[in-house]
């Protein structure tokens, strides 16, 4: 089952949902701002993306700039920051089995569906 971690206020995230609908494949939407992933889930997503936790952070968010930017944070502290402030999590994230992508640009989603 394909899962998209989605924020409806984000145009790229809405485009990702539209692309998945157009694909005809079954998928599940996780509104991650409301249904915050567990630390384990977030670690699994990061592992599937093959990135460090900092690669999943939206660094232009005010929360990041005001509270975290310029600090020497461990991976654990970055994970904790995303869990405490899910708005910091990049979007959309699409997971299909053992593969995952950040759907920016939206066309990247095609590589795993």
Q: From the candidates 2, 4, 10, 62, give the one annotated as an active-site residue.
A: 10
Cβ–Cβ < 8 Å for 45, 37: yes
SS (H, E, C) 2-21: EEEEECCCCHHHHHHHHHHH
Give the pLDDT of residue 2.
98
74 in active site: no
Whole-number Cα distances in Å, 85 to 25, 30, 73, 81, 98: 31, 16, 15, 6, 26
Mean predicted confidence (pLDDT) in 13-40 = 97
Per-domain boundaries in the chain: 2-111
Nearest to 84 by CA among 51, 37, 29: 37
Q: What is the CATH number of domain 2-111?
A: 3.40.30.10
pLDDT, tens digit, for every residue of 28-62?
999 999 999 999 999 999 999 999 999 999 999 99
């Amino acid at each position: 089952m394909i899962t998209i971690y989605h924020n409806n206020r984000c145009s790229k995230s809405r485009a990702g949902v539209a692309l998945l609908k157009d694909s005809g494949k079954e998928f599940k939407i996780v509104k991650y701002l409301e249904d915050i992933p567990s630390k384990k889930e977030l670690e699994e997503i990061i592992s599937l993306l093959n990135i460090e936790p900092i690669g999943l952070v939206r660094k232009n968010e005010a929360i990041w700039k005001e509270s975290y930017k310029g600090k020497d944070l461990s991976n654990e502290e970055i994970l904790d920051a995303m869990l405490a402030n899910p708005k910091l999590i990049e979007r959309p994230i699409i997971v299909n089995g053992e593969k995952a992508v950040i759907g920016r640009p939206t066309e990247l989603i095609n590589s795993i569906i």
